Amino acid sequence: MNICFLFGKINSEIKFDFLLNQDLHISIASCFILSEDGNEIKLIAFDKMADILYSDYELGTHIILEGSIINNCIEVMRIYEY
């Protein structure tokens, strides 16, 4: 089972882009989060979660998230309010 929970502050601008010629996903958002112990972790979100991450959150926002590890990144599955 590949589930992780993170708490931290968004440490970079959230980049949003559309994926062309993809069957599985339409859009992607990515940013870095700074954890409480000082580690910087890359987040990626697809489709609806990408829209939520890009439109509802900004640099410096504290978030709690649920995700899974994919290729040295965390794919965001759910964001909880802090």
Query: How does pLDDT run across 11-48, given as a tens digit for each residue?
Result: 999 999 999 887 888 999 999 999 988 999 999 999 99
CA distance 43 to 25: 16
Contact 45, 52 (CB under 8 A): yes
Query: How does pLDDT run across 66-79, given as a tens digit for each residue?
Result: 999 999 999 999 99
Q: Is the pLDDT of residue 82 over 80?
A: no
Instruction: Name, in order, each residue with C-beta under 8 angstroms of 48's C-beta and a sequence gap of 6 or more.
Output: none
Contact 69, 43 (CB under 8 A): no
